[in-house]
Structure 1
Amino acid sequence: MPTPPTSLAKTADIYDEFETQIQVCEPIFRDFGGHIRFSGPIATIKCHEDNSLVRELLGQPGEGRVLVVDAGGSLRCAMLGDILAQKGVDNGWAGVLMYGCIRDAKEISGMPLGVKALATIPKKSVKKGVGESGSPVTFAQVEFRPGDWLYADEDGVVTLPANR
């Protein structure tokens, strides 16, 4: 298997090199983390207005992975705040791509973590333990598969299959 591009590679350069294999997200995400440029193998969660699994996964060793959260695009509550983002930092996660909202944006902006999300809102989510992890999720015209590589920077978000 070819080596993935380095974590400092620009998404535009990755697109140029892997145009026939790459997926490109619609430009719907805003940058909130202290790292604008981040990359790593994908881990997935699908949950709607319940961030229990976000807490659980960010509490585990990240090993440089990117947590991709399909929160259904909900703008009604935050699925990530400063406490969970700090868990991600402490456990070695490279970043979080949130198809939903976050809160505590000021604090998260100072953390060494990539965070892209749709928006911010102060309302927290419920915690009922509902959701699933480890399955492909689809949003922003991309299918995110666990183990594939995600690259994010100022220009956007792209993914490459792990088995190119």
Structure 2
Amino acid sequence: MTFATCDLCDANEDKLATGEIAVLPPVFKAFGAVEKFSGQVSTLKLFEDNGMVRTILDAPGNGRVLVIDGGGSLRCALLGGNLGVLAQKNGWAGVIVHGCIRDVAEINACQIGVRALAVMPVRSIKRGGGEHDVRVSIEGVAINAGDWIYADIDGVLVSPQALD
């Protein structure tokens, strides 16, 4: 990948000013073996229940990025090593978790990019609740299924269309 989020911001200052393109606040930590990733978005909205995460990551990712709105909960992890391996195996480019992850060493060995608020060793419940491919709001930024994510060491951009 040849993009840099700084360059994308510079080239799209007008769209940033109007809110057409947004940047997630700098609250996310980087994990996974892939430092830079981008792709079309699939969303999940759930709370302290990661049963649906496995269902989604078990499907072909086709280079997409899964954005999980976990409500910012810091009480349990929504993504662990087994799910990281599953995401890699099924061709997901990355996962952004508005919540926690665990099994950091395992996730860091996976050829995907991951962003999360924090690390928590406690696993979530697995009832399978949640909503898939709905509009979510992460730290005040609206993200829709089909949007595009661009993530690198400088930040995470959200755009309704692919950027050059």
TM-score between both structures, scaled by the size of structure 2: 0.93
- How many corresponding residue pairs? 158
Shift of 1:163: 7.8
- Which 5+ residue runs of structure 2 have no aligned equivalent? none
Greater shift after overlay, 136-145 or 41-50? 136-145
Is the aligned partner of 1:79 residue 2:78? Answer: yes
Q: Partner of 2:7 in structure 1? A: 13
CA distance in 1, matches of 2:162, 2:90: 26
CA distance in 1, matches of 2:110, 2:2: 18
Letter in 1 for 2:80: G
CA distance in 2, matches of 1:87, 1:56: 10
CA distance in 2, matches of 1:36, 1:105: 15
- Which 5+ residue runs of structure 1 have no aligned equivalent? 1-6
Deviation string, structure 1 residues 123-146 (Cα, Å, up to 9, x no partner): 000011110001110012311111
CA distance in 2, matches of 1:110, 1:127: 24
Greater shift after overlay, 120-129 or 13-22? 13-22
Contact 1:102 1:120 in 2 (8 A): yes
Shift of 1:69: 0.2
CA distance in 1, matches of 2:159, 2:8: 9
Moved over 4 A (4+): none
Contact 2:23 2:157 in 1 (8 A): yes
Compared CA separation, residues 41 and 163, structure 1 to 2 (3 A):
closer
Deviation string, structure 1 residues 66-116 (Cα, Å, up to 9, x no partner): 000000000000000000111100000000000000000011111100000
Compared CA separation, residues 163 and 96, structure 1 to 2 (3 A):
closer
Contact 2:81 2:102 in 1 (8 A): yes
Greater shift after overlay, 136-145 or 88-97? 136-145
CA distance in 2, matches of 1:15, 1:70: 24
Letter in 2 for 1:9: F
CA distance in 2, matches of 1:124, 1:137: 23
CA distance in 1, matches of 2:128, 2:92: 21
Q: Partner of 1:4 in structure 2? A: none
TM-score between both structures, scaled by the size of structure 1: 0.93
